[in-house]
A and B are shown apart, each in its own frame.
Chain A
Amino acid sequence: MLSKQKLRIAAFSTAVIAFAAMSGSALAQKKYDTGATDTEIKIGNIMPYSGPASAYGVIGKTEEAYFKKINAEGGINGRKINFITYDDAYSPPKAVEQVRKLVESDEVLLVFNSLGTPSNSAIQKYLNSKKVPQLFVATGATKWNDPKNFPWTMGWQPSYQSEARIYAKYLMKEKPNAKIAIMYQNDDFGKDYLKGLKDGLGAKASMIIAEESYETSEPTIDNHIVKLKATGADVFLNIATPKFAAQAIKKLAEIEWKPMHIVTNVSASVGGVIKPAGFENAQGILSAAYAKDGADSQWDNDPGMKKLFAFLEKYYPDANKLDGAVVFGYGVAQTMVKVLEMCGDNLTRENVMKQAASLRDFTPDTLLPGVKINTSATDFAPIEQLQMMRFKGEKWELFGDIISGELSN
């Protein structure tokens, strides 16, 4: 039998140990890497504010405004976001210069939503070797989902190949004997889609009877459309960026060619593409979406979109609500904020990646109902679901199920 003295000591020591153990986890030690402090989180970003892709600079401006709003509302766990964004004019050497500035001179915690496949390819090796997160890159190239070789790089939007596979699935089901004509932009964007489509069709890739590439330096793609019509195809795949997609829609109507017309998500914006091309010319066009369209009246009373519009009115009144880039910027910025919130006080780069890879059914305000963000240690593709839609009247009508374009890697 222990003496009372010894019992008291034992009890006391147990209490001390228990208390220490509890406080160890309760206090959750603050851990920081360069770029994070008690009061601030520095986020780096590279966007093409000038040059051929300057239309996408709006994304950076939207994100800047969104982080301003978060700061005004108290920041993330009490820390303000310092959003540092630089212009790379869509040139890879410039992107390398800017990312080195962000990492070595501005000392950011992570690089977020940098835009463009060439620029991101240029900085991927550097960021991975420096172990700086390259989060939610703004491009749909499939190669960002490679956690084994590039554990610090993660995409966000559905990859081009997964979207193309969805179209392939649809075509094989609805029009198994189709004759497909494809017009695609001769760069990583267009070629990725083409690959996805061919892979998706598999043995039936022979359905493709014509492929026409075009360069962004061409003033108009009208002659490509003329050439494709002459092939007698009954399905037309419009793999183009907004300006050229609109030209194609218009030309198809002008020459009275009415195939099944599929346009990529990148160019499905009602305000940015369909309206200028002419609503009457776009009837029956198919596409797929993962987010809501700001110009589409069916979302006017949607709570998520209402929050977006309220945000724009207060923090970015000049924004063009009809621009898909604005909706995109908002959604991805929300995802970033969520990840940082999940990090709590452990703001190391490693933990940022860990939290980014632990998103479960997260839904920013702007995604379609049913589309959810999910990531894991082997799945670095946050959004993989899309829903197909058909243009009718003055808006898109969603139909069918939410399809997962998951590539089986």
Chain B
Amino acid sequence: MSAVQEVVTEAPAVEAVPKRAMTLGYGASLIMLALLIAAPLFVKNFIIFQLTMLLIYGLAVLALNILTGGSGQFSLGQSAFYAVGAYTSAILMEHVGMNYALTLPVAGIVCFGFGFLFGQPALRLSGVYLALATFALATAMPQLLKLGYFEHWTGGVQGLVVTKPDAPFGLPMSQDMWLYYFTLAITIAIYIFSVNLLKSRSGRAFMAIRDNEIAASAMGIDVALYKTLAFGVSAGITGVAGGLGAIAVQFVAPDGYTITLAISLFLGMVVGGVGWLPGSIVGSAFIIFVPNIAEGISKGLSGAVFGVLLFLVIFLVPHGARQVAIVAQQLIGKLKRN
């Protein structure tokens, strides 16, 4: 094979989303918030459960958006962090008897550390190589969870059953409703944190690295620090989501955290619009509800129907829900002027 070096002027793998466009405007945000708060009052417990899962997966997609859309690092391994967060919560709740709310910060910190550590060897990898490395992590996780050494804590292949918390102070609401509002509060807090993170100096550093790593490093940005930081933050948020997931589903088992979850989160990010934080919830809705719709259309071909629907989405809006929002914004702008 030729020993000639290959010189490449690459377009950035992740396209830049202007900072302004990274969030919704005030009006839209308030409407979303009102909807989210009011929703559970009108629907059955089962739908509230689905809405809770919507928020939880939305958090996980948000985390991936920070990592890929923000700092340009590709990850197919989020399911590993989600699993660690879920198991941390479950083990603390069931073996140590910790209060469920306290397990979440612990899960977040543990996963932050884990993500930060993983970011170190990942520093030298990018693009498809980083994808493979994160993929390796995601496939390793279920097998690690099944290991005999840890079986006493993790329950091995049988998993752990988690007790669902009641509403505190004897509030007159069902467990599902309480859990929804609890999750909503955490989601809003993390969302605000993420928006501020991306607007801050660190966020600018992330985006500089995403757009052109060499230039960023030439400008004096500590690329290594920020890249690992991005991994850490993303992992931490995913860990919190995992912990919430464990409480909502009331069960953790290795089979629930396979590479399929990582791929779903990735799809959620793409459908929502890479780098567009509000799109995370759209992406989350896609990965929760579209498989159900596909199943409703054809049980035998549910996978094929899902694939077709996914193709439709990416043909119509290759940039995800963000594209829809931009179009809507332009339309509203035109209407305002007339």
Task: Please report A residues at the B interface, Cβ cutoff 8 Å.
Answer: 49-51, 85-87, 89-93, 96-97, 100-101, 103-105, 117-118, 121-122, 124-126, 143, 186-188, 191, 215, 217
Contact = CB atoms under 8 A, between A and B. Distances in A.
B132 to A, nearest CB: 15
A108 B253 CA distance: 26
Q: Is the interface of B mostly helix, strand, loop or mixed?
A: helix
Interface in B132-172: 139, 143, 146, 156-159, 161
Could you say which of A50, A90, A118 has the most chain B C-beta atoms within 10 Å of its C-beta?
A: A50
A121 B253 contact: yes
Top 8 nearest A-B pairs (CB, nearest first) are: A104-B46, A122-B251, A92-B256, A118-B255, A188-B157, A100-B46, A118-B253, A93-B249
Nearest to A125: B161
Contacts of A124: 161
Interface stretch (B59-67, B297-305, B316-324): B297-305
B15 interface: no
Contact of B245 (A86, A93, A122, A188): A93
B62 to A, nearest CB: 19
Interface string B245-270: 10001110101101011000000000
A187 to B, nearest CB: 5
A96 B249 contact: yes
A286 to B, nearest CB: 26
B226 interface: no
Could you say which of B45, B53, B299 has the most chain A C-beta atoms within 10 Å of its C-beta?
A: B299
B46 A117 contact: no
Interface in B30-61: 44-47, 49-50, 53
Contacts of A117: 157-158
Size category, B interface:
20 to 34
B295 interface: yes
A92 B49 contact: no
A106 to B, nearest CB: 10
Interface in B223-255: 245, 249-251, 253, 255
Nearest to A85: B299
Contact of A49 (B47, B256, B299): B299
B46 A96 contact: no
Given A97-B50, A121-B251, A125-B161, A191 B156 contact: yes
Given A97-B49, A100-B49, A121-B161, A51 B260 contact: yes
A86 B295 contact: yes
Contacts of B256: 91-93, 118, 122
A87 B299 contact: yes
B271 to A, nearest CB: 19
A149 to B, nearest CB: 12
Given A92-B255, A100-B49, A217 B156 contact: no
Given A49-B302, A89-B260, A118 B159 contact: yes
Interface in B286-303: 291, 295, 299-300, 302-303
Nearest to A53: B255
Contacts of A91: 255-256, 258, 260-261
Nearest to B258: A91
Given A97-B53, A104-B46, A122-B249, A191 B157 contact: yes
Contacts of A97: 49-50, 53
A105 B49 CA distance: 12
Given A92-B159, A118-B256, A121-B158, A49 B295 contact: yes
Contacts of B146: 186-187
Contacts of A215: 143
A97 B255 CA distance: 15
Given A92-B249, A96-B249, A217-B139, A87 B46 contact: no
Given A92-B255, A96-B251, A49 B300 contact: yes
Given A87-B299, A92-B255, A118-B256, A104 B249 contact: no
A51 B49 CA distance: 23
A82 to B, nearest CB: 16
Interface string B66-79: 00000000000000
B183 to A, nearest CB: 15
A89 B139 CA distance: 17
Could you say which of A92, A126, A215 has the most chain B C-beta atoms within 10 Å of its C-beta?
A: A92
A86 to B, nearest CB: 7
15 contacts: A50-B302, A85-B299, A87-B291, A87-B302, A89-B260, A91-B256, A92-B249, A92-B255, A97-B49, A101-B46, A124-B161, A143-B158, A186-B143, A191-B157, A215-B143
A89 B258 CA distance: 12
A50 B250 CA distance: 23
Interface in B11-34: none
Contacts of B245: 93
Contacts of B50: 97
Contacts of A93: 53, 245, 249, 251, 256
Contacts of A121: 158-159, 161, 251, 253
Contacts of B156: 191
B128 to A, nearest CB: 20
A105 B46 contact: yes
Nearest to A191: B157
A101 B45 CA distance: 10
Nearest to B143: A215
A198 B146 CA distance: 20
A104 B295 CA distance: 19
Contact of A122 (B45, B253, B258, B295): B253
